[in-house]
Amino acid sequence: MTTTHAVRLPDLGEVDEVTITAWLKAEGDAVTAGEDLLEVETEKTTFVVEAPTDGTLVRIVKREGDKAKQDELLAEIA
């Protein structure tokens, strides 16, 4: 059985909600811990969310244009 790891929106400080602006990896792509996975945007700036672990990006939950809040599930890595 394959273990999956959640990719969640990290604490970005005084930010209530972000918009997913770009996925830098696609489902099925291999990823390395610390590698840039996606970009999110607040009213003031853009942040990059990194892969929390090595593996394969198996499921993208939040698509470009979707809103997300802190600790919300963005994707899964197996």
What pTM value is reported for the model?
A: 0.93
Residue 74 buriedness (CB in 10 A; 0-12 / 13-18 / 19+) = buried
Rg of the chain, C-alpha, whole Å = 12
* Separation between Cα atoms, residue 35 and residue 23, nearest integer Å: 12
Percent share of the chain, pLDDT over 70: 99
Q: What value does the mean pLDDT of the chain take?
A: 96
pLDDT of residue 2: 77
What CATH topology corresponds to 5-77? Answer: OB fold (Dihydrolipoamide Acetyltransferase, E2P) (2.40.50)
| pLDDT surpassing 90 at residue 6 | yes
Tens-place pLDDT, residues 16-37: 899 999 999 999 999 999 999 9
CB 38 within 8 A of CB 24: yes
